[in-house]
Structures are given as structure tokens and as C-alpha cells.
Structure 1
Amino acid sequence: MGLSFRGEFSQKVDGKGRMSIPAAFRRVLEDGDPDFPQNPNPRMVVLYGPHLKGCLHAYTIEAMAEIEADIKSLPRGSKKRQMASRMILGKSLETEIDRDGRIVLPKERRAQIGLEGEATMVAMGDYFEIWNADTYTAEEAAEIDEFLSEQDEDFDPLTLLDGAEGA
């Protein structure tokens, strides 16, 4: 397995939908693109299906190839394969990072998440999320508050990991 996405970044989005991909994320995208460095502009795949509430998901080319292989392993003609294909492959867009480190998100994708002005990009390990900055701030605070309210007062997130109980 290659590099992982880590961190949280805010980036400006201009009126044409151009936004910079953080340098740390570009290294992961380069590592996950088999055509890099022969093609000096690393590619990525953006998922935008209706199951994604308020954000877009961005994957490396290799991670998306793994997802495609999982879909192809489902029985031909099955409802699961049809829905996975339609909701994942059919709702994905391959894009390239330009020499200035930017991508262009089409107007329809920006409209889906209300993206204008400022985007927040959040690492999720093997992919990253792209949010409207205000939506992310509100959603993250609500999710974490709700989760923490169900935990002990001295909760440590490392305990969520297998084998971390003794840590």
C-alpha cells in the first residue's frame, strides 16, 4: 500500500472552479498514479454520487482501480453490481492536476455541495473529502459532539483501533 492522505486543509475556490490541491495530497496522488512521472500531471478520481451527503470524495488512480476490481468481482447481472457500478463508476470523474497544482471542479459538482469561496479538504486515509468550508465546520462539530457524548469522559480515539486497548 502506498502513501496515505493526512491532514485538513482550506483552499480558495475561484469563480471557474479552480482550487489548489495541498502539496501533501499531491504527493499521495503522484504515488497512486501509475503514469506519474511519465505524465507530470497526476490524475485523481472524484466521486459525486447522491449517497455522499455534503461532500465529494477524491481517490488516487490506484485506489479507484481497487474499487473497480471489487465491483467487477460481483456477479454479472446482479443488482449489487448494477447499483455499485451506477453509484460509483457512473458518478465519478477523472481529472488531472495542472502544473500549478490545481484542479477544476465542474459547476455541477460545485453546486452539489454548495462549493464557492472556500473549500475544506479532509484526509480519510485512502481518499480525501472536499467540502464547502462552512458546511464542514458545522457537520464535523455536530458529528464529534454526538460521538463524544456517547463515550466515557476520558475517551481516547486510539481505543477505536484493533489492539489499541492496552495502549
Structure 2
Amino acid sequence: MLGVFIGEHDNKIDAKGRLSIPAEFRRELEDADPKWESGKPARMVIVYGDERRNYLEVFSVADLQRVHAQIATLPRGSRKRAELQRLYAHQVVMATVDETGRIVLGSKLRGKLDLKDRALVVGNGETFMIWQPETYENDAMPGLMEEDDFDPTLDPSTWLPGGGGPLMDL
């Protein structure tokens, strides 16, 4: 396994709200679930957030544990810690992959994104995202911070360390 989630997958949602998770994503979820055993479903955490998020972000168990370890380093009672706990502990849903490779997206999650019969499942490195397809096409990078050295005309591979593209520093 690669250890990351990559690729775009346009998948159907059935009448019961079940969404197929790509097979390679399921293998990554199994590898990152400390309690997973062969023949049992892999667990994951779906972070839905508030109105600032127009997508669902899916974390493996191990990656969400790492996020919570980072949160724990912030001072108790700080605004940043409270906001992070709200996002990564309150505004989440645990899910498991069923024997057919699907998860159930409850009405709350489908309603948040106005999902009907399709969803776009998009790899995002250590997480993957679930988008309403039209929203993804129009607004896939909301709320990113401004960076003085960002040039939208450059090939993104130039921002890898060393600036020479993906193979220069491997």
C-alpha cells in the first residue's frame, strides 16, 4: 500500500445512503486501524464540520489519533484547542465499511452536502474527501490562506522541496 489516499472516484449513492469506498482506500483504512482483523470491517471517522466546510473529510483511525495528540499539546481552555476539539471530536461520525465495501452516509451527512445519487470520493493524501460532484468542480479549495509566493500559473510540482519537481528529491 502507498500509505496515502489518491485519485478521484465518482460513485453512486443508493436509496439507503450507502456509498462505495474505493478498494485501495479500504486497504489503507484497514492498515491504519489498530483493531482491524481480517474479515472484520475497517473503521474510519468522517469529519463533517460546520458551515465553513462544504465537504466531508474521512480520517483513518490512526490519523485521527495523531490529530488528537497534536490537539492535546495546546493549552487547556485555549480558543484554538476548543475549536479543534469541536471539529475533530464533536463534528464527527464513526463509520465502518460493510462487507460490500460501502459505508452508510446518514441523512445528516447527505443533507449537509445535498447529496442525492452520486458523490465524488477524492484522495487527499492522509485523508480523503467526499464531495457533491458539482461543488467539487466549482469550489474544491475553499478557505485557503493567501501565500505571498504563490503563483497559480506554475506547475504545482515546483513547490516540492528543492523546487525541481517530484523526482528531484526522491
TM-score, L = length of structure 2: 0.84
SS of 1:103's equivalent in the other structure is: strand
More off after superposition, 113-122 vs 70-79 = 70-79
CA distance in 1, matches of 2:51, 2:64: 17
CA distance in 2, matches of 1:141, 1:38: 36
CA distance in 2, matches of 1:37, 1:44: 14
Residue in structure 1 matched with residue 112 of structure 2 by the alignment:
112
Matched, 1:66 2:66: yes
Residue in structure 2 matched with residue 11 of structure 1 by the alignment:
11
Residue in structure 1 matched with residue 123 of structure 2 by the alignment:
123
* One-letter amino acid matched to 2:57: H
* One-letter amino acid matched to 2:4: S
Residue in structure 1 matched with residue 21 of structure 2 by the alignment:
21
* One-letter amino acid matched to 2:42: P
CA distance in 1, matches of 2:137, 2:152: 21
CA deviations on 1:79-130 (whole Å, 9 max, x unpaired) are 2211211122110111110111110011011100111111001111000110
SS of 2:128's equivalent in the other structure is: strand
**More helix, by proportion:** 1
When residues 4 and 141 of structure 1 are mapped into structure 2, their CA distance, relative to the original with a 3 A threshold, is closer
Matched, 1:159 2:150: no
Structure 2: runs of 5 or more not aligned: 143-150
SS of 2:35's equivalent in the other structure is: coil
SS of 1:76's equivalent in the other structure is: coil
* One-letter amino acid matched to 2:119: A
CA distance in 2, matches of 1:108, 1:43: 19
Residue in structure 2 matched with residue 137 of structure 1 by the alignment:
137
Structure 1: runs of 5 or more not aligned: 143-149
* One-letter amino acid matched to 2:40: P
CA distance in 2, matches of 1:127, 1:141: 15
More off after superposition, 133-142 vs 58-67 = 133-142
1:33 Cα shift?
0.5
SS of 1:73's equivalent in the other structure is: coil
When residues 90 and 12 of structure 1 are mapped into structure 2, their CA distance, relative to the original with a 3 A threshold, is same
SS of 1:5's equivalent in the other structure is: coil
CA distance in 1, matches of 2:69, 2:60: 14
1:54 Cα shift?
1.6
Residue in structure 2 matched with residue 30 of structure 1 by the alignment:
30
1:35 Cα shift?
1.1
Q: CA RMSD in A?
A: 2.2
